[in-house]
Amino acid sequence: MASAFEYAPAPESRSVVDIAPSYGLFIDGEFSEAADGKVFKTVSPSTEEVLSEVAQAGTEDVDRAVKAARKAFEKWSALPGSERAKYLFRIARIIQERSRELAVLETLDNGKPIKETRDADLPLVAAHFFYYAGWADKLDHAGFGANPRPLGVAGQVIPWNFPLLMLAWKIAPALATGNTVVLKPAETTPLSALFFADICRQAGLPKGVVNILPGYGDTGAALVEHPDVNKVAFTGSTAVGKAIARQVAGTGKKVTLELGGKGANIVFDDAPIDQAVEGIVSGIFFNQGQVCCAGSRLLVQESIQDELLDSLKRRLSTLRLGDPLDKNTDIGAINSAEQLARITSLVEQGEAEGAERWSPACELPSSGYWFAPTLFTNVTQAHTIARDEIFGPVLSVLTFRTPDEAVAKANNSQYGLSAGIWTEKGSRILAVASKLRAGVIWSNTFNKFDPTSPFGGYKESGFGREGGRHGLEAYLAPSSPKGER
């Protein structure tokens, strides 16, 4: 579609961030090399440029980090909550101060548009620390009995889609409740976690309270397995989540899992179409669809299918794909070559199974990992693209006739993380919301997050909640019925 007004390039400057050629592991307040000297490279997904070389933690390093965290636990858990709170408030403030630097860094390392890191990720990261800081000295009032106790050392493994935000979701409640942490960032996005280590240093956080171990899946597995880890928190794929659940069986380690999703976004015939279209777009194209709670299954009431799809296609034609550092970019790069290959293969399978593929005219940059926004029509519930999580900018469109059918189709999934409901009828929103088996339900909106709002899934989307008062539970020992002290 020819546009009357072309956009001039509006790139955010990279000069605000200074990326070192190499980074070590952050253990006991110091950066150090891996015991076996292993390193790996992290690249910018939009250009394939090598950003830095990062130490890769092995079993020995995991052991050293857990020891440091264990040692730090004694003092950290004994600190008055009000003092722990002040550390967390400091961290929140430093994140706010350095948010432009961190936003650019995250965009470079992850490939997502600067407008998302700047306007969504970073404000939420700071807000999470700010929110949980305030809980640190109020745990007696959180509803988990009197004098709730921390668990000990938390082993945390986070994904690459929201590197710094997932770090905040994990570290803020862990520290507020008096635990110490060893965190493994994803292998494709280790940098913001290492910058966070520097923020801990600036905040004067005691050594060993936070330890960062970049690495691959085997590093994560070694961390989960470590006998002196008391709590495991994982966000990532359902397959890995199941493996972790098996690993911790019989060990007594407390575990929370935030896993995959195949969110249904249900649009009724009386929905505000323009708002619904915006919600569908943010539901599946925000962060290139690399979001566990993405609204990847669009369920449209049959009578408005044509009208809605026309509007949606028109809207998709206005999305701008390209340089993630450009402030006008809507769709950035896919995080890695592996992820791009997975998306590509699932989309090919969708075509092979008979679904109809559509994308707006869209030029892809010649280097980097890119995938055009894509939607599939003629999709049935049996299709792979309607069942499996694609984790990319790919929307499957299904139809329904009655609210009961919409609910049945929405719930026809192994997952149960998120859902959307679009209708002007309040009673229908409440009826449908109550019947959907999903942990987060957005009505007449989508993909909204807040530190005060619990997030997490039903069924195979995992267990436990992050955020809000509920998020504290994952890091506290079960309360004694008598409130023993």
CB of 445 to another protein, least distance (A): 5
CB of 438 to another protein, least distance (A): 7
Could you give the string, one character per residue 365-404, with x where binding to another protein holds by CB under 8 A and - elsewhere? ----------------------------------------
Q: How many residues bind another protein (CB under 8 A)?
A: 45
At 255, the amino acid letter reads V
Residue 173 sits in the site that holds another protein (CB under 8 A): no
Identify which of residues 126 and 298 has a Cβ nearer to another protein in the complex: 126
CB of 324 to another protein, least distance (A): 25
Q: Which span sits near another protein by CB under 8 A: 63-71, 307-315, 393-401, 456-464?
A: 456-464
Terminal-to-terminal C-alpha distance of the chain? 68
Identify which of residues 205 and 440 has a Cβ nearer to another protein in the complex: 440
Known catalytic membership, residue 258? yes
Interactions with another protein, residue window 128-167 (CB under 8 A): 143, 145
Residue 450 sits in the site that holds another protein (CB under 8 A): yes
Single out the residue of 45, 47, 83, 290 nearest to residue 176, CA to CA: 83
Q: Of the listed 292, 293, 460, 473, which one is catalytic?
A: 292
One residue of 79, 319, 429, 431 binding another protein per CB under 8 A: 429
Interactions with another protein, residue window 182-241 (CB under 8 A): 238, 241
Single out the residue of 194, 133, 204, 119 nearest to residue 163, CA to CA: 194
Residue 165 phi/psi, 5° resolution?
Answer: -65, -40
Distance CA(341)–CA(110), nearest Å, equals 16
Distance CA(292)–CA(450), nearest Å, equals 16
Strand, helix or coil at 344?
helix
- Specify whether the CB–CB gap between 34 and 193 falls below 8 A: no
Known catalytic membership, residue 292? yes
Interactions with another protein, residue window 465-484 (CB under 8 A): 465, 468, 470, 478-482
- Specify whether the CB–CB gap between 323 and 339 falls below 8 A: no
Residue 344 sits in the site that holds another protein (CB under 8 A): no
> Could you give the C-alpha distances from 48 to 45, 54, 329, 336, in angstroms and in order?
5, 16, 18, 9
Identify which of residues 256 and 396 has a Cβ nearer to another protein in the complex: 256
Residue 286 sits in the site that holds another protein (CB under 8 A): no
Q: Of the listed 12, 106, 187, 258, which one is catalytic?
A: 258
Identify which of residues 104 and 259 has a Cβ nearer to another protein in the complex: 259
Measured in whole angstroms, the distance separating CA 288 from the mean position of its chain's CA atoms is 12
Residue 265 sits in the site that holds another protein (CB under 8 A): no
Residue 458 sits in the site that holds another protein (CB under 8 A): yes
Distance CA(302)–CA(316), nearest Å, equals 21
Residue matched to tokens 């935000």: 165
Distance CA(132)–CA(177), nearest Å, equals 9
Distance CA(305)–CA(381), nearest Å, equals 17
Identify which of residues 150 and 457 has a Cβ nearer to another protein in the complex: 457
Distance CA(387)–CA(382), nearest Å, equals 7
Strand, helix or coil at 299?
strand
Q: Look up residue 216 and give its two tokens.
A: 């691959």
Residues with catalytic function: 258, 292
Binding interface with another protein (CB under 8 A)? 127, 143, 145, 238, 241-243, 245-246, 249-250, 252, 257, 259, 414, 429, 433, 438-445, 448, 450, 452-456, 458-460, 462-463, 465, 468, 470, 478-482
